[in-house]
Amino acid sequence: MKLALFLLLFSLSVFAQPVIISAPVEHPYVPTGFDSNDSVEVIVTGNFPNACYSRNNVEVKMTGDIIDIKVTSISPGKLKKLCQLEIFKGVTMK
């Protein structure tokens, strides 16, 4: 019984779910010159800390004239230690 409980807790920590976080947006760019009947596009730039992160979702909420854009990303969370790409952090190419 104790072994089963240990294995369950161990598997939960090893196979932990990734964490949804706000994306690291550094610069939003909205082109000008749109009319009221145009579809507006927004361009955002930013960098993830390493290749273990990925884009998740973009939510757009309109309240009157205010447009709220939320960009989220997937963080490896507890799996960061297991991410194989993390071993290349700090390695430089010559």
According to the model, what pLDDT value does residue 63 have? Answer: 92
Residue from 20, 24, 4 nearest 12 by CA: 4
According to the model, what pLDDT value does residue 2 have? Answer: 72
From first to last of its 94 residues, what are the pLDDT tens digits of the chain?
677 666 655 555 555 677 888 888 888 888 888 787 888 788 888 888 877 888 888 898 989 988 888 989 888 776 666 665 555 555 555 5
According to the model, what pLDDT value does residue 10 have? Answer: 59
Phi, psi (degrees; rounded to nearest 5) at 6: -60, -45
Does this model's pTM top 0.75? My answer is no
